[in-house]
């Protein structure tokens, strides 16, 4: 049952090791799953939902709508991510979360999570860390949007997604992964127009950095892609440096 609830654990343990009991409690916290179709909202800005959600499968995005029908995607979320932790403590969402693909989420009742946090401070800390990583990614996006131009920006996004997907085992044979985003969605994330996303992606293909085949992207030259995007994975807090992981008894 719930074969994928492990993804959350795996994610949390990138930074903080958990005891078996803590893992068990978390897995049991998922009282049910919920399936969503593409382009559905899981939560909307301003809402005050009573359940929390872990992504078990699929891709979602945080986004904000601004006047004139413009949209800005502020981050992507993949399996193992917690969608709405901010709602847990702030009581109200400052942004919406919507699906980009078919999605399965695990539902964790607000109260359950609160109780877990009280009894298991290390779990609370791991969750806190998740939100800090989220913030770190957001800051990197600010830099990406503010100071890099389209070509570098897209390269950077591809690097980020490929590292994050790799961390959850969704990169096959080293260099290719599912890319379920339309160019319009990429545009809304990178602050560009769809037209320019198309041209710029093409550029990346012409340069031989990536190729796309259907819903899949294959990175042909990781080093040059990373360089093009001025990318370093530090801000994702995934890698071999493990934060204060050593504190586990």
Partner DNA sequence: CGCCATATTGATCGGGGTCAACGGCTGTGG
Partner DNA sequence: CCACAGCCGTTGACCCCGATCAATATGGCG
As given in the structure block, the two tokens for residue 83 are: 């969608």
CA neighbours closer than 13 Å in the CB half-sphere of residue 139: 9
User: What's the angle, vertex CA 98, arms to CA 13 and CA 237, rounded to 5?
Assistant: 25
Exactly one of 1, 3, 50, 67 binds its own copies (CB under 8 A); which one? Answer: 67
Asked if residue 94 binds its own copies (CB under 8 A), the reply is yes
Contact status, residue 133 vs residue 141, Cβ threshold 8 Å: no
Asked if residue 75 binds DNA (CB under 7 A), the reply is no
At closest approach, how far in Å is the CB of 106 from its own copies? 21
At closest approach, how far in Å is the CB of 240 from DNA? 33
Q: Are strands 60-65 and 96-99 parallel, antiparallel or unpaired?
A: antiparallel
| Alpha-carbon distances of 81 from 59, 93, 105, 131, rounded to whole Å | 10, 16, 10, 10
What stretch of H or E contains 62? strand 60-65
At closest approach, how far in Å is the CB of 89 from its own copies? 5
Each residue 161-200 as x (binds DNA by CB under 7 A) or -, in order, gives ---------------------xxx------xxxxxx-xxx
What residues line the site for its own copies (CB under 8 A)?
A: 15, 46, 62, 64, 66-67, 70-72, 74-75, 85-86, 89-92, 94-95, 118, 121, 124-125, 128-129, 131-136, 138-143, 145-148, 188-191, 230, 234-235, 237, 241, 243-244
């Amino acid at each position: 049952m719930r074969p994928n609830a492990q993804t959350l654990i795996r994610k949390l343990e990138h930074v903080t090791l958990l005891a078996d009991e803590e893992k068990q409690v978390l897995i049991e916290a998922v009282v049910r799953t919920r399936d969503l179709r593409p382009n559905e909202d899981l939560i909307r800005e301003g809402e005050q939902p009573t359940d929390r959600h872990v992504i078990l499968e699929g891709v979602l995005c945080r986004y904000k709508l601004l006047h004139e029908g413009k949209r800005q995607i502020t981050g992507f979320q993949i399996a193992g991510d917690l969608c709405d932790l901010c709602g847990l403590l702030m009581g109200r969402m400052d942004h919406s979360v919507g699906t980009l693909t078919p999605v399965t989420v695990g539902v964790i009742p607000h109260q359950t999570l609160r109780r877990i946090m009280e009894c298991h401070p290390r779990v609370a800390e791991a969750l806190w860390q998740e939100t800090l990583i989220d913030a770190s990614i957001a800051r990197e996006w600010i830099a990406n949007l503010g100071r890099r131009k389209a070509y570098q920006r897209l390269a950077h996004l591809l690097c980020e997604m490929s590292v994050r997907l790799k961390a959850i085992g969704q990169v096959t044979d080293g260099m290719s992964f599912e890319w379920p985003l339309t160019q319009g969605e990429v545009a809304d994330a990178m602050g560009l127009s769809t037209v320019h996303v198309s041209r710029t992606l093409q550029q990346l293909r012409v340069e031989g950095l990536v190729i796309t085949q259907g819903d899949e992207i294959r990175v042909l030259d990781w080093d040059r892609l990373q360089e093009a995007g001025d990318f370093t994975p530090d801000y994702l807090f995934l890698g071999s440096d493990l934060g204060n992981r050593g504190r586990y008894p």
